[in-house]
Structure 1
């Protein structure tokens, strides 16, 4: 019996959530959202489904699985604490999601998927204390038959995801044994990955990787991910959608990367617009490797209205990208050193400045943030990677900064607005995406108060 998703909203309208389609009834109303029975134990282990109840704290110290067709839902104000130390796969538990996982935090009551407070310190930014979240189709019941399981949706709203990336073990597919895991891996080709107003912090390698899926990534804040390599958001073939109004601080390599590489025939097609990227690319030990936005290996998309501040490399479009189907302009580069200025357009790519881009010499065109000194870290003496122990990580200090634009900023009014988001996700209603149109100001914050709300 197919599972029906009943959305009882104020208007009485009814919507269908495409990924939730078996057995359970999910009743959605304001302010309460439920998926199956409430989880009464404070410890998750083995196979789980149901609702983590608002205001409760839950723990897990071994791998947790949501089976194909099941749903695990976090109401607002829930904390899910991983008990691990990152020393081995056995002590780095992960959430394996073969079904659907939903976290519905709110601005007033955000959710947390994190570690105990004593471990939430700057020194653990790259410790990989737990394994991360893996969203993938379940293994086929018959290894010789086509896989009938296609996985489910991942929906995260107003949720902190932190301190993951522990080493993988034999029982942690699809990683190779011993490899660091990502905070989030999403591999459900025709399903939805919606992430809105979330905080992503601290990982050993990529923070998020998608190998397929319809995505909408809006108004999030990323900080300090990748110890000596890795992206904040690494998209492979099969990934289609929009990334906009995100703030991305201190990526090891690229903040955003699109590459049409993996096993699916669906082209990687992503629009990246109105994002703010700060101090990206400086921990990557390999030369010529990223810092802000990278399109390569057959990927396509639109790239407008992005603000890049002291990133080691600016926009990079490689010769093997789908160049005829990549469009970009109205991007803003600021650098406090001649070396950064020389790479505003990555010299190992084929991109070029466009007529509405904003760029200049070292320390020219300060974007004028309300509460952040763009020259706090001087890159003028840097010719290569900066050790993660030397570079400021801004761990847990983003709340003391303010990346909104002061009146008179050169970024105000310089955005391109005459293009449309892809709006690839199919989930609607309460669980659907709030996809914002491109903004008139460059960067993640708009002078009218819209955009990123952190």
Structure 2
């Protein structure tokens, strides 16, 4: 029998009967669960009211900490709202990895004091699948969300595979978050992605804002992993994020998969901080800080790259659309002679601009983070996920990657470019929520911050 154990809620008796004889590849129907006041989330003749907000009729609302032992599938046209402070724990010791498959809409309503959390009972990478969105998913909001320990490999019985999402063959794990609707909208704001086994995020379509997040400790030595992996069909503003220890790339920016029906991707990527990325693939020379390929044409400026292997790279035969891209100025710092060499002019596959700021000697142009502890034995070409052999230290939330007064990275950035969404993106599912107190009240527009004439993220 498939079930969800809810710490403070209840499972409807009808649902128990429904799933007592379910097959392996059946997926949990979220309509069968209740909010904390005991009212079913579907079919109410009145608004759905909790202690936090009033939601439109037909919504699904999760108000309580919940343990998932099987995948959840949100139907097309249906909206799931997860309230502030809710923790969703995915069981690891199951035959088919748990996934949250969003065919409809998802709104994670976390706050700074009460984030929404997706985690696992095992607290190790690859313990569950991820949040995988469908081709008709219209809106997804991840605001103040903590997502960790995802990246498990699906089976043919997995919800994502059954819905023909992300993978058509079983050949590796899924990202922690995947969005694919070219006409859909998503936002990832003020969130913390960490300890995920493959990519933190992977986009094959959609209009999005990614701002104010921390992406830490992604990927694995065998399969790699990007923090932000972008393909064709996207329009994105990506700003003010900290990316730490992405083992292949912090950013992989590509127009792979474009066709007559999938438009080329446009994106502005600015004022992000990249630290200790790209250590995995020194032997085949792939990966590094930022990888641009297959006619990608981003605005990529004001970014600060610190002790990452290489700087900005592209394949020899299939790289960025240099004519329509803007890839400078950015700030590249290396504390080691090896790092300086790999970012030097003429380095294999590297992209060089005289307008960038780059260390010409080890330790030159230290950006002076307010609080960061580098591995004393750091080796940016180590290829093993072991700090004793040079890999990055585990991320410490006490670190502060803002810049000290007097930092050489506090000036030299540019502001003469336009964001893709200067007025923000509206999420109408948020507009329909009536928050009952100011502590939880949230706007329905999300926008990336204005560019700053400095390098890196600010906190």
Alignment TM class, shorter chain as reference: 0.7 to 0.9
How do residues 312-351 of structure 1 correspond to structure 2 at under 5 angstroms? 312-318=309-315, 319-344=318-343, 347-349=347-349, 351=351
Q: How far off is 1:244 after superposition?
A: 0.7
Aligned residue for 2:286, secondary structure, equals coil
Task: Please name the residue that 2:400 is paired with.
Answer: 402
Task: Please name the residue that 1:141 is paired with.
Answer: none
Task: Please name the residue that 2:420 is paired with.
Answer: 422
- Give the distance between the partners of 1:388 and 1:33, measured in 2 at CA: 48
2:378–2:391 Cα contact (<8 Å) kept: no
TM-score, normalised to structure 2, is 0.78
How do residues 83-102 of structure 1 correspond to structure 2 at under 5 angstroms? 83-85=91-93, 90-102=95-107
The answer for unaligned runs of 5 or more in structure 2 is: 1-43, 432-442
| Residue 25 to residue 358, structure 1, CA distance change in 2 (3 Å) | farther
- Give the distance between the partners of 1:403 and 1:222, measured in 2 at CA: 13
- Give the distance between the partners of 2:358 and 2:54, measured in 1 at CA: 45
How do residues 256-267 of structure 1 correspond to structure 2 at under 5 angstroms? 256-264=251-259, 265-267=262-264
String of CA shifts for 1:405-452, please: whole Å, max 9, x gaps: 11100011222112121118642562321321111221001xxxxxx4
How do residues 207-286 of structure 1 correspond to structure 2 at under 5 angstroms? 207-228=200-221, 229-264=224-259, 265-284=262-281, 286=283
Task: Please name the residue that 1:434 is paired with.
Answer: 447
Aligned residue for 1:343, secondary structure, equals helix
String of CA shifts for 1:239-283, please: whole Å, max 9, x gaps: 111111110000011101111112553102221110001100012
1:241–1:269 Cα contact (<8 Å) kept: yes
String of CA shifts for 1:268-301, please: whole Å, max 9, x gaps: 2221110001100012365212221221101111
- Give the distance between the partners of 2:295 and 2:320, measured in 1 at CA: 4
Aligned residue for 1:255, secondary structure, equals strand
- Give the distance between the partners of 2:385 and 2:106, measured in 1 at CA: 36
Task: Please name the residue that 2:21 is paired with.
Answer: none
Task: Please name the residue that 2:353 is paired with.
Answer: 353
String of CA shifts for 1:139-180, please: whole Å, max 9, x gaps: xxxxxxxxxxx3221110010011001111113323222521
The answer for unaligned runs of 5 or more in structure 1 is: 1-22, 38-48, 138-149, 446-451
Aligned residue for 2:267, secondary structure, equals strand
Aligned residue for 2:410, secondary structure, equals coil
Task: Please name the residue that 1:66 is paired with.
Answer: 74
Task: Please name the residue that 1:204 is paired with.
Answer: 197
Q: How far off is 1:237 after superposition?
A: 0.4
Indicate which of 92, 109, 113 corresponds to 2:114: 109
How do residues 117-266 of structure 1 correspond to structure 2 at under 5 angstroms? 119-120=122-123, 124=124, 127-137=125-135, 150-171=136-157, 172-173=160-161, 174=165, 175=167, 176-228=169-221, 229-264=224-259, 265-266=262-263
Q: If you compute each CA radius of gyration, which structure gives the higher value, 1 or 2?
A: 2
| Residue 260 to residue 408, structure 1, CA distance change in 2 (3 Å) | same
Q: How far off is 1:354 after superposition?
A: 3.1
1:258–1:268 Cα contact (<8 Å) kept: no
1:291–1:311 Cα contact (<8 Å) kept: yes
2:242–2:457 Cα contact (<8 Å) kept: yes
- Give the distance between the partners of 2:381 and 2:187, measured in 1 at CA: 38
- Give the distance between the partners of 1:437 and 1:167, measured in 2 at CA: 38
Aligned residue for 2:107, secondary structure, equals strand
Total equivalences in the alignment: 386
Task: Please name the residue that 2:435 is paired with.
Answer: none
Task: Please name the residue that 1:44 is paired with.
Answer: none
TM-score, normalised to structure 1, is 0.79
| Residue 438 to residue 376, structure 1, CA distance change in 2 (3 Å) | farther
- Give the distance between the partners of 1:329 and 1:30, measured in 2 at CA: 49
Q: How far off is 1:31 after superposition?
A: 6.2
- Give the distance between the partners of 1:186 and 1:347, measured in 2 at CA: 34
Q: How far off is 1:375 after superposition?
A: 6.1
- Give the distance between the partners of 2:340 and 2:413, measured in 1 at CA: 21
Aligned residue for 1:341, secondary structure, equals helix
Pairwise CA RMSD: 2.6
Q: How far off is 1:30 after superposition?
A: 12
2:60 matches 1:50: yes
2:292 matches 1:295: yes
